Structure 1
Amino acid sequence: MSFHYFAGAACRALTARKDGPSLYDVCDPVLAGPASGDPHLAKFYKTALGNPALRILLRRAGLPELSDATRLTRLREALTRARDDAEPDWAALGRPLADLVDTIPLEHPKPPPVPFAGTMPRQAQIDGAIRDCAQHLLRSFRQNGFLPTYAAFNLIGDPDVRGRELIMALTGLNSRGYKNSSLLFNLARVFIARSQARGVINPPWTGIAEPMWEPVQIRHRSAYYDAFFIEALLSYVETGLASSTDATAAKRAIADMVDFCINISREEVRGTDGARFDVITALAPAPHPRFSRFFAQIKQDLGFGVYVPDCDTTACSISAAMQAGSNDPILDQPLLDFYAGYQVRAGINEPRVTVPLNDNIDYEGGVATWIDNLKGERPYGNDLDPTLNLDILEVSFRNLARWKILETPARLATVHRIIGFQKRLAASGAFANPRSHIYYLPELYSAYFGRCYAAFLSLPLAAQAAIDPDGDFDFIRHRVLSYVQGELMAAEMNVFDAALALIALGHLGADPRAFAPALNVIIAQLGEGGRRGPFRAYEWNKMKTPTRILVGGPEVTSAFVLMGLAVARRAMVGRG
């Protein structure tokens, strides 16, 4: 978006006619004075919502229905109970706010259709873009000592979180601070979405993945991100395009990131059977996440003090370490034994999924996200994401022999049940519905399925037959290809969408002629990142609670474009 767009949007927000009480008219009498009851609620309000810039932007954003004294009183009473009650009834106090959230007019992006662009870029252009992305990653690693990723808050929230889902979050999350932040963020999003401030907070964009143009972005490091940076640099070396100097620099960066993933970010936990396992936490202890001192304090104030390990970071880190040639003993753990304890078994195990924001899908056979730490803490409750389960399959295929999966009936059964979970997603078409996903978008699911499918095809035929006797992977492959070619690439794409499309198409064996639209988008947008890199920052993954938190960065875009172009190049060279 241009300066003129934001200037106009800000002017409209600042000069709009106020119609009803504002966010601050509602909250100041309860939360702006001396703290009482739970001090975090007032601290969060003053830190996140009461800052001067947001006050100015929202000062004319009013809700006419709150001119009704009864409704205004109910809302303030709910905030007071959230502040003062020792054990708040979150479902009851969340109801007045849930009713307001249901008035938000918010939908997922629906890019317009575009004609098929069948002319291929020149091979030299593709190779040049690969080198540009790799040079960006290596330069950033050299300058920072790591590859940074960024988080940014979009206060308008996620289209899939309506009043019903808000109640799910308030009752299913375990941390009171996290409940507080969900409550207040969702209150703020009503005032934003129904006012002229919406144009400033949530400007339109091209494609599906959201660009990260918020002015405040929180730089940090995580093993989950490093795992994919490892794969990107490995793919660069494998193209043969790297000079000897670049290849050496890439290998050094990879070695450092492998160490960060499986040593610095390692954490011991207990499985549901009491056995101890080493897993990987997404946010290592300070100072390793590389937050600035300012944002480290903000993170604490906003209720993100405790961060527990998760199944996805563990799977991706172990996979990346193995691909990089590591022989660390952590790779020898049969992680499927651990994951089995977090696998949903209808009517048998405890209700693993306490925050079922995507309850439109059948969880049977899926593995939940968050891992209880040794203290038994579970601040985020638990949820279940389809893409995470693809990562578990992928790392299982890479460790098939090491973990003796075919020789161990229980482990093979765990794999079969995850595959069954994925097949039902494909058969119903739910994988293409954004609501089915907690942390990702359908086009990213498609790319990750391609990555998983490639690991499956690398297995001996006898192993493939034992893992997938009914041909479920081929069934899912056809559904995913249909979505990528018939929906994603038939509409307007941005660079990140295009990179994910290439990863899916290349791994799933599509005709290389189908790559043309995505390749053209990437080559045409090369340089859009300005001084920060070849491309802009886009949404890689997200959180839907406490509000829409996007994660990505220019380095992330370069990594995924590099991987997409490398996969496409390999397929094109092979066909040639």
Structure 2
Amino acid sequence: MSFHYFAGHAFRALTAQKDGPSLYDVCDPVLAGPATGDPHLAKFYKTALGNPALRALLRRAGLPDLRDEARLTRLRAALTRARDDAEPDWEAVGRPVADLLDTIALDHPKPPPTPFNDAAPALAEIDNVIRDCAHHLLRSYRQNGFLPTYAAFNLIGDPDLRGRELIMALTGLNSRGYKNSSLLFNLARVFIARSSARAIINPPWRGIAEPMWEPVQIRHRSAYYDAFFIEALLAYGETGLASPAEATAAKTAIADMVDFCINISREEVMGADGRRFDVITALAPSPHPRFSRFFAQIKQDLGFGVYVPDCDTTACSFSAATQAGSEDPILAQPLLDFYAGYQVREGVNEPRVTVPLNDNIDYEGGVATWIDNLAGERPYGNDLDPTLNLDILEVSFRNLARWKILETPARLATVHRIIAFQKRLAASGAFANPRSHVYYLPELYSAYFGRCYAAFLSLPLAAQAAIDPDGTFDFIRARVLGYVQGEMLVAEMNAFDAALALIALGHLGADPKTFAPALNCIVRALGEGGRRGPFRAYEWNKMKTPTRILVGGPEVTSAFVLMGLAVARKVMAGRG
């Protein structure tokens, strides 16, 4: 977006006619004075919503609905109960905010169609982009001592989180601080979405994955991110394009990241059967996440004080370590025994999913996200994401023999239930609906299915038959390919979308001629990142609560572009 775009919309926001009470008219009488009751609510309000820049932008954003004195009084009373009650009734507290939330209209991106370009760029151009991305990753690692990822807030929130889903979050989350931040962020969403500030906070963009507008905000390190950076550097090595010095540098970085994933980020937890397991936490103890002192305090103030392990970070870390050739004893643990305790079984443990934001899908057979730590803490309640379950299948295929999955009926049954969960998702078409996903885009699900499918095809035929006797993987493959070719490739894309398309197309055995739109998109976009890298920062994954928090970064885009081009290059050379 140009300077003139932001300047014009900022002028309109700052000079708009105020039509009813603003966010600050509502909250200041309750939360701006001396703290009483739960101190976090007022602290969060002053830190996140009361900062001078946002206050200036929203001070004239009034809601005519709140000119109704009775409605305004109910809203303030709800905020007062959230502040003062020892055990608030969160459904009652959230209801006035949920009713306002249902007055806003947000939509997922709908990129316009674009002509199909069947002339792919030359192999030399593809190789140059691969090298640029690898050079960016290795340079960033050398400069920082790790590969950073960033988190950024989009205060307008997620289109799928409306009043009903807010009540789900307030009643299903366990951390009071997280409930506080969800309540106030979602109240602010209403004033943003119904004012001129909307155009500044949520400007339009090209493609599906949302760009992370400058400044990219919170730099940090996580085992989940390191796992995919490992895969990207391994992919670079497989292309044969690395110089001897680069190969050595990549090997050093990979070894460090493997250690970070399976040692530094390791945490012991209790399985459902009483056994103890070593799993991987998404945020290792300080100072390993590499937050600045300022953002470490902000994280605390926003309600992210306790971070627990999760099933996805564990699966991806184990997978990356396996691909890198690690023989660490942690990998000998049959993770499926642990995951079975978090697998939803209809009528048995369905309440395990306490925040069912995507309850349009059938959870039977899926594995939930968050892992209780040894202290029994579960700040985020629990949810269930389809893409996470692909990662569990992928790591299981890579460790099929090590974990004796085919020889252990209970482990094989856990795999079969996850596959059945994925089949229902594909058969219904729900995988293509953004609402079905808690942390990811359908486009990313498609790429991750390709990654999972490639691991499946690497197994002996007898093992494939035992795992998938009904041909479910080929059924899902057809559905995902149809989505990528019929939806993604015929519409406007950005570089991250294009990388995801290539990962899916290459792994799923698509005709190389269909790669052209994605390849051309990436080659055209090269250089868009300016001084930060070859490409801009885009949305990799997200959180829908407490508001829409995007995670990505320039290094992330380089990693995914590198992986997408490496897969495409291999297929185009006839080696797929």
Question: What is the TM-score normalised by the length of structure 1?
Answer: 0.99
Is the CA contact (8 Å cut-off) linking 1:153 and 1:550 kept in structure 2? yes
2:573 partner amino acid: V
Aligned position for 2:226: 226
Q: Does 1:476 align with 2:476?
A: yes
Is the CA contact (8 Å cut-off) linking 2:358 and 2:438 kept in structure 1? yes
The RMSD of aligned alpha carbons is: 0.8
Superposed CA offset, 1:369-408 (max 9, x none) = 0000000000000000000000000000000000000000
Q: Does 1:386 align with 2:386?
A: yes
Superposed CA offset, 1:201-246 (max 9, x none) = 0000000000000535100000000000000000000000000000
In 2, Cα distance between equivalents of 1:291 and 1:103: 37
Aligned position for 2:317: 317
Aligned position for 1:82: 82
Aligned position for 1:466: 466
In 2, Cα distance between equivalents of 1:288 and 1:493: 35
Aligned position for 1:377: 377
Aligned position for 2:262: 262
Structure 1 stretch displaced more, 345-354 or 220-229: 345-354
Q: CA deviation at 1:262?
A: 0.3
User: Pairwise mapping of residues 194-205 of structure 1 onto structure 2 (< 5 A)?
Assistant: 194-205=194-205
Q: CA deviation at 1:575?
A: 6.8
Aligned position for 1:337: 337
1:289 partner amino acid: P
In 1, Cα distance between equivalents of 2:179 and 2:294: 23
Aligned position for 2:114: 114
Is the CA contact (8 Å cut-off) linking 1:152 and 1:214 kept in structure 2? no
Aligned position for 2:536: 536
Superposed CA offset, 1:76-103 (max 9, x none) = 0000000001110000111111000001
Task: Extract unaligned runs of 5+ from structure 2.
Answer: none
In 1, Cα distance between equivalents of 2:511 and 2:154: 38
SS at match of 2:278: strand
Superposed CA offset, 1:163-183 (max 9, x none) = 000000000000000000000
SS at match of 2:150: strand
Aligned position for 1:73: 73
User: Pairwise mapping of residues 348-497 of structure 1 onto structure 2 (< 5 A)?
Assistant: 348-349=348-349, 351-497=351-497
Is the CA contact (8 Å cut-off) linking 2:173 and 2:379 kept in structure 1? yes
In 1, Cα distance between equivalents of 2:159 and 2:446: 21
Is the CA contact (8 Å cut-off) linking 1:385 and 1:438 kept in structure 2? yes
In 2, Cα distance between equivalents of 1:127 and 1:145: 26
Superposed CA offset, 1:89-134 (max 9, x none) = 0001111110000011101000011111111101100000000000
Q: CA deviation at 1:490?
A: 1.0
In 2, Cα distance between equivalents of 1:216 and 1:441: 20
Aligned position for 1:272: 272
Q: Does 1:563 align with 2:575?
A: no
In 1, Cα distance between equivalents of 2:477 and 2:350: 32
In 2, Cα distance between equivalents of 1:287 and 1:504: 36
Aligned position for 2:548: 548
In 1, Cα distance between equivalents of 2:471 and 2:364: 19
User: Pairwise mapping of residues 522-533 of structure 1 onto structure 2 (< 5 A)?
Assistant: 522-533=522-533
Is the CA contact (8 Å cut-off) linking 2:150 and 2:216 kept in structure 1? no
SS at match of 2:342: coil
Question: What is the TM-score normalised by the length of structure 2?
Answer: 0.99
Task: Extract unaligned runs of 5+ from structure 1.
Answer: none
Aligned position for 2:501: 501
Q: CA deviation at 1:350?
A: 5.3
Is the CA contact (8 Å cut-off) linking 1:153 and 1:214 kept in structure 2? no
SS at match of 1:407: coil
Q: CA deviation at 1:6?
A: 1.0
Is the CA contact (8 Å cut-off) linking 1:154 and 1:214 kept in structure 2? no
Superposed CA offset, 1:224-283 (max 9, x none) = 000000000000000000000000000000000000000000000000111000000000
* Compared CA separation, residues 214 and 66, structure 1 to 2 (3 A): farther
Aligned position for 1:236: 236
Aligned position for 2:346: 346
2:317 partner amino acid: S
Aligned position for 1:100: 100
Superposed CA offset, 1:510-542 (max 9, x none) = 000000000000000000000000000000000
In 2, Cα distance between equivalents of 1:163 and 1:473: 37
Q: CA deviation at 1:351?
A: 1.1
In 2, Cα distance between equivalents of 1:462 and 1:108: 42
In 1, Cα distance between equivalents of 2:68 and 2:12: 26
4+ residue segments displaced more than 2 Å = none
SS at match of 2:550: strand
User: Pairwise mapping of residues 58-207 of structure 1 onto structure 2 (< 5 A)?
Assistant: 58-207=58-207
Q: CA deviation at 1:5?
A: 1.1
In 2, Cα distance between equivalents of 1:350 and 1:377: 19
User: Pairwise mapping of residues 28-67 of structure 1 onto structure 2 (< 5 A)?
Assistant: 28-67=28-67
* Compared CA separation, residues 564 and 455, structure 1 to 2 (3 A): same
Q: CA deviation at 1:488?
A: 1.1
1:371 partner amino acid: I
Superposed CA offset, 1:419-454 (max 9, x none) = 000000000000000000000000000000000000
SS at match of 1:549: strand
Q: CA deviation at 1:11?
A: 1.0
1:46 partner amino acid: K
SS at match of 1:268: strand
Q: Does 1:17 align with 2:27?
A: no
Q: CA deviation at 1:348?
A: 1.3
Is the CA contact (8 Å cut-off) linking 1:308 and 1:371 kept in structure 2? yes
* Compared CA separation, residues 228 and 17, structure 1 to 2 (3 A): same
2:495 partner amino acid: V
SS at match of 1:215: coil
User: Pairwise mapping of residues 298-313 of structure 1 onto structure 2 (< 5 A)?
Assistant: 298-313=298-313
In 2, Cα distance between equivalents of 1:309 and 1:66: 42
SS at match of 2:528: coil
Is the CA contact (8 Å cut-off) linking 2:136 and 2:534 kept in structure 1? yes
Superposed CA offset, 1:150-204 (max 9, x none) = 0000000000000000000000000000000000000000000000000110000
